[in-house]
């Protein structure tokens, strides 16, 4: 199986690449979501999509080779997603060092098309990250129906957040790049949460932040995950806070950008922060019938 083969680093003309992997659509049985074949095809996609946060799991060994081992504790990865992938579709991650501690990154599918692109840093926050650059050019929305109850500046604080290792075990069984730290190795204080579940911990803010948003199908459009005093540990209680940064639209979607941070209540330290952009599909809502 391609995902069980050991990680091997390649370099060509200054571009580092990891092996070709086949990410699994872990949510393909989630009926009514963009990951469900029937729903995705009804909305014009080839099939149920692999969640963007799963693609994050292919980058850590590549970026630690490119930027340094400290990436696991202080690194940031900022990705804008261009082309959805489906269950088991082969993809490959790439990185090109731009300056010490900073790299351009992207992922390609078998046809050479870009699945995502962005930036990575050894330590942040990075004010020049791929997503912070895109945020500066966001045009305010003129006609929001699904997100009508959401406003820029809406915020929530101290939402309980936790990564449960028992619930995350099925994720590890299909992860593209399994690392010893996800099982309690490499000298960390406990089991390190893989990127996909670390992002889910920060997403704990979504319930209260978007409580008024109902009856829609959405998909990730961009994610930036920045460790500050990381990594995020499994089976550890955190508090998450979040704030809406921007609202925009396209002919087929309503779009929301928000930021979230994760704090360790025992130490008071901020462990990680995130920027996430979600595309809410107009065709999925009766408000756009």
pLDDT grade for 175, boundaries at 50, 70 and 90:
very high
Least confident of 2-6, 123-127, 193-197: 2-6
- Among the residue ranges 101-105, 187-191, 262-266, the one predicted with the least confidence is 187-191
- Report the percent of the chain where pLDDT is more than 70: 99
The predicted pLDDT at position 4 comes to 79
Would you state the pLDDT for residue 93? Answer: 98
Predicted TM-score of the model (pTM): 0.96
Residue 216: CB partners within 8 Å, gap ≥ 6?
Answer: 146, 280, 281, 284, 285
Residue 1 has pLDDT above 60, yes or no: no
Alpha helices in 203-277 (DSSP H): 206-209
Structural domain boundaries of the chain? 2-288
Burial zone of 107 (CB within 10 Å; 0-12 exposed, 13-18 middle, 19+ buried): buried
Average pLDDT of the segment spanning 244-248 = 98
With cut-offs at 50, 70 and 90, classify the pLDDT of residue 31. Answer: confident
CA distance 249 to 247: 7
Q: Which two tokens stand for residue 148?
A: 């009508």
Average the pLDDT over 188-214 and give the result: 95
pLDDT for the residue numbered 18? 96
pLDDT value at position 259?
98
| pLDDT of 29 above 80 | no
* CATH code given to domain 2-288: 3.10.129.10
Please give the Cα distance from 115 to 88 (Å, whole number).
14
- pLDDT of residue 2 exceeding 80, the answer is no
Q: Cα–Cα distance between 37 and 29 in angstroms, integer?
A: 9
Task: Give the model confidence (pLDDT) of 56-111 as tens digits.
Answer: 999 999 999 999 999 999 999 999 999 999 999 999 999 999 999 999 999 999 99
Query: Which among 104, 102, 143 has a CA at the least distance from the CA of 123?
Result: 102
- How many whole angstroms separate alpha carbon 24 and alpha carbon 90? 10
Look over the chain and give the mean of its residue pLDDT values, rounded to a whole number.
95
pLDDT of residue 256: 98
């Amino acid at each position: 199986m391609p995902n069980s083969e050991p990680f091997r680093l390649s370099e060509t003309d200054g571009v580092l690449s990891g092996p070709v992997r086949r990410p699994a659509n872990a949510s393909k049985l989630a009926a009514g979501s963009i990951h469900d074949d029937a729903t995705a095809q009804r909305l014009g996609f080839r099939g149920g999509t692999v969640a963007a946060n799963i693609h994050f799991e292919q980058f850590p060994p590549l970026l630690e080779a490119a930027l340094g081992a400290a990436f696991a504790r202080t690194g940031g990865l900022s990705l804008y997603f261009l082309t959805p992938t489906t269950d088991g579709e082969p993809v490959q991650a790439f990185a090109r060092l731009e300056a010490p501690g900073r790299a351009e990154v992207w992922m390609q599918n078998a046809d050479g098309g870009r699945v995502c692109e962005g930036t990575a840093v050894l330590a942040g926050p990075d004010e020049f990250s791929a997503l912070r650059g895109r945020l500066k050019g966001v045009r305010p929305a003129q006609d929001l129906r699904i997100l009508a109850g959401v406003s820029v500046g809406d915020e929530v604080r101290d939402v309980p957040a936790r990564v449960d290792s028992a619930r995350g075990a099925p994720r590890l069984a299909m992860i593209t790049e399994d690392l010893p730290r996800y099982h309690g190795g490499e000298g960390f204080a406990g089991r390190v949460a893989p990127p996909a579940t670390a992002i889910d911990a920060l997403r704990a803010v979504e319930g209260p932040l978007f409580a008024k948003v109902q009856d829609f199908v959405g998909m990730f459009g961009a994610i930036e995950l920045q460790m500050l005093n990381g990594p995020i540990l499994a089976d550890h209680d955190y508090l998450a806070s979040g704030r809406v940064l921007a609202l925009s639209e396209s002919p087929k979607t309503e779009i929301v950008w928000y930021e979230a941070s994760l704090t360790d209540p025992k130490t008071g330290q901020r462990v990680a922060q995130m920027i996430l952009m979600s595309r809410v599909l107009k065709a999925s809502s009766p408000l756009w019938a």
